[in-house]
Amino acid sequence: MKEFTHLIDLDDFDLDFIERLITLGADIAVNTKRYSSACFGKVLATLFYEPSTRTQMSFQTAMLRLGGTLIGFDNPETSSVAKGENLKDTTKIVSSYADIMVMRNPVEGSAKAAAISSDCPIINAGDGGHLHPTQTLTDLLTIRMEKGHCDNLTIGICGDLKFGRTTHSLCKTLSKYKGNKFIFISAPELMMPDYIKDIIKANGGTYTEKYSLEEAVPELDMLYMTRIQRERFTDANQQLAANFNLTCDIMKLAKPDLIVMHPLPRVDEIELKVDDDPRAKYFIQAKYGVYVRMALILEVLKNDHPVKLLTKGFGSYDCTNPKCVTQREKYLPHSFHRKGDVLVCDFCEAVTLP
**Residue ranges that bind a copy of itself, judged by CB under 8 A:** 33, 36, 41, 43, 45, 51-54, 57-58, 60-61, 64-65, 69-75, 77-82, 84-85, 88-89, 92-94, 96-98, 264-266, 272, 275, 283-284, 286-287, 290, 331
In this complex, which beta carbon is closest to a copy of itself, that of residue 74 or of residue 349? 74
H or E stretch covering 103: strand 100-105
Clarify whether 55 is annotated catalytic: yes
Residue 252 CB, shortest distance to a copy of itself, in Å, is 20
Which phi and psi (to 5°) does residue 319 adopt?
Answer: -70, 135
Smallest gap from residue 306 Cβ to a copy of itself (A): 21
| Annotation says 132 is catalytic | yes
Residue type, 103: M
| Shortest separation between residue 40's beta carbon and a copy of itself, angstroms | 8
266 counts as catalytic: no
CB of 11 to a copy of itself, least distance (A): 27
What's the distance, CA 6 to chain centroid?
Answer: 14
Q: Is 88 a catalytic residue?
A: no
C-beta separation of 296 from 123 below 8 A: yes
Angle between helices 165-174 and 194-202 (to 10 degrees): 10
Catalytic residue among 54, 230, 308, 339: 54
Name the residue nearer to a copy of itself (CB basis): 6 or 104. Answer: 104
Name the catalytic one among 65, 104, 112, 334.
Answer: 104
Strand order in the sheet with 181-185: 206-210, 181-185, 154-158, 222-225, 259-261
DSSP state string for 264-304: S--SSSB-GGGGGSTTB-HHHHHHHHHHHHHHHHHHHHH--
Q: Considering beta carbons, is residue 92 or 181 the nearer one to a copy of itself?
A: 92
How many CB atoms are closer than 10 A to CB 348? 26
CB of 315 to a copy of itself, least distance (A): 16
| Catalytic residue (choose from 6, 65, 130, 132) | 132
State yes or no: is 154 an active-site residue: no
**Residues present in the chain in total:** 354
Q: Which of 55, 90, 138, 352 is catalytic?
A: 55
| Complex with a copy of itself: residue 25 or 205, whichever CB lies closer | 25
**Element housing 15 (H / E):** helix 15-30
Positions annotated as catalytic residues are 54-55, 83, 104, 132
